[in-house]
Structure 1
Amino acid sequence: MTTALIVLAAGKGTRMNADLPKVLHPLAGAPLLIHALQAGGALDPDRTVVVTGHRAELVEAAARAFDDRITCVRQTEQRGTAHAVAQAAPALEGFHGDAVVLYGDTPFITAETLEAMLAARARHDVVVLGFHAAVPGRYGRLVMDGDALAAIVEYKDADDATRAIDLCNSGVVCADAGMLFSLIAAVGCDNAAGEYYLTDIVGLARARDLSAGVVTCDESETLGINSRAELAQAEAQFQCRARDAAIADGVILPAPDTVIFAHDTWIGADAVIEPYVVFAPGVTVESGATIRAFSHLEGCHVSQGAVVGPYARLRPGAELAEGARVGNFVEVKNAVIDAGAKVNHLTYIGDAHVGAGANVGAGTVTCNYDGVNKHRTVIGAGAFIGSSTMLVAPVTVGAGAMTGSGSVITRDVPPGDLALGRATQVNKAGLATRLMEKLRALKAAKAKV
């Protein structure tokens, strides 16, 4: 079965009170549009068309960053959903298969629901996704005739009897692509809003003796985002689902309500995630690892048995091998920490490789940036880096080597050597006492003025 996706993403989202297109507002670290594309991507579509409008160049860039095979078309005037879908027709000329219409601001449609819609195409020419609403409000209503869908009536155009129906329209539609565009070509705008409604295709299909049916899903799947308040609600809904899924998969979450997941966070069974941990996109934590409280992870990989935190930050490119330890107030960026290595206190490791079993003392900094370029630091296996060592990259500390505390290391250290890079200590007898007496006298003199 060949399938095309048509994702509508042209609206500004006036109620968001932002210049950023509505579909680019982030949910769990990814734009709403990406959630819709991921849902549709589960169908393994042969073609994907994104219909853009407001600040089209931004939306198109986001879509193509997700998948450079996506075709983008523009709706220069917002004249309704049918008009938006019609913009995709040239991009799908000659396509033979089903088309599924999705919305860039509806992030929670599941793959199972979309697969059920495609399966229902064996029985109906047009399939609409519906849901039973607890509070139907201003949703369009699905008017049934037995098991068949007779019509979709927008709230603005509905009478009281129709408004009493609780089976509502999600807007998601599936039909043969050629037939879909044929029906859309016949849609008019004789309605209260003067717009071309996609929902009108059901009545037009019935008039052509074509069948229309409904697949239903949970109301939570159909949540559309139209305001910042609804975006916050969606974030809360996503986090609840992610936490429940993690616990079901065997992740240990002592205080789940305090942990924040990204859309792509992956955590293995028996990993421990302590309170107030934040996962930004691109994080994998393997089974048996521990992420201690108040840590922030992004774009990194934590292997089995590794321990991170508390109060640690792993930035993109951080790679922790088995049993590695990254502790209090340590930041790691674009660096590999090999098995059993320890970086436990008040340290920055950037653009570096720390060998197996090495120990990096408190206050160590890999000085990786010269103001123009980044440079790499290599710390060999079993090396011992004394506290407050400044490693001025590019520099290598060999296996089993040591640096004295407080050293500034500017040249390579051969394996097994001890490097000292600090000034010789000089003690000035009695100078501290005399200096303090002088300072106190100056302060007292100023107080009398």
Structure 2
Amino acid sequence: MNVHFIAIGGAAMHNLAIALHNKGYNVTGSDDTIFDPSKSRLEAKGLLPEEFGWFPEKIIADLDAIVLGMHAKADNPELLKAQELGLKIYSYPEFLYEQSKDKTRVVIGGSHGKTTITSMILHVMHYHDRDVDYMVGAQLEGFDVMVKLTEDNDFIVLEGDEYLSSPIDRRPKFHLYKPNIALLSGIAWDHINVFPTYENYVEQFSIFVDSIVRGGSINYNEEDAEVKRVVEASENQIRKLPYQTPEYTVEDGETLLETPEGPMPIEVFGAHNLNNLAGAKWICQHMGIDEDDFYEAISTFKGASKRLEKIAESRTSVAYKDFAHSPSKVKATTEAVKVQYQNKELLACLELHTYSSLNAEFLKEYKGALDAADKAVVFYSPHAVEIKKLEEVSHQQIADAFERDDLIIYTNPQDFKDFLFSQNFENKALLLMSSGNYGGLDFDEVKGLF
């Protein structure tokens, strides 16, 4: 099969391209720029375009499929040529469905927790040598690529993202997978550039629940009031199975999960991660892993890449970085680190980096998000606001939004770095939350502080 990727360099796209190459397909692609790790990974497989740019001449009649990435625009020259030739054009999720329509599709949805839950499930399956197909948004220890597609495997585990499918398909990705087994972890307004109202955002999850194959099932976090309402209101003929955070204790910086065999130490921590674990256990049981085998495997799970990742530790101090950027994630992550290290002073630093977080109206959603920190810092770049063509955000708006009188705010990367490197980290926990890098902060240098 001949498949061409328009915008092959994306995090998800390049993984799918490699998965199809590994399956024996003939894969080509284009992009206007490609950064590492995508660049070197594509190069290693012989899939890196010879030059960057868009080349309509690559689009020929004998291509069986075009996979169109979100990075491409609706007027992309290669896309226009493909439309002119009448070629079959798939969005990323459409193509995944096409590859898995004869399999049992397990789809993990939710505003937060979906990457971690998907990663937990795959870790357990890998630990017990159960081969499954999958697509997950984070790099996992022991896994070469983050998309795997085979002819033989019965199950495919898919991380169900609610963001749009492609420039010409404005449906959320997770509406296209038609799960047999689903999970919904939480609903908290996000992607306001696409879903301008809270009600519009929540509606996408109702559509997701209704898309589950009749006779299928959904496990849902009943501690999230919106999730509970959405699932229980659905008239879809499916099994509805609630889950909640299991019992656990924290002793001397170690989390102990209560199991039928007694307390068991685990590597991940925080109420949100324990809640994720409960959801993952249910899904693994649907996939044939019994409770004892689940506990044995999950005790060795260290977390998904960029999710509460320990980057440094000394005798008295510790540092974590986390991808958290939405208000619910920031709050859950800050509280988790404070509970885990109750006897340490917590310095929490948040970079407002995404379209939603830099929107003056949306900022109000951050109320109380950093309250668990002993000292709280917010960094944002006025340049990023400018690039995203948003209204300027003021210091005062940020201070008002978080409702914290002692909040420290920086807009200059050097000033933030100077502050960070002037701190005494004796008996402290540092938490760096961002989907960016604070205007160029070198995390390896930060490790040197510990």
Using structure 2 for the length normalisation, give the TM-score. 0.24
Give the number of the structure with larger relative contact order, counting CA–CA contacts within 8 Å between residues 6 or more apart. 2
| Larger helix proportion of the pair | 2
| Larger strand proportion of the pair | 1
- Whose radius of gyration is greater, 1 or 2? 1
Using structure 1 for the length normalisation, give the TM-score. 0.24
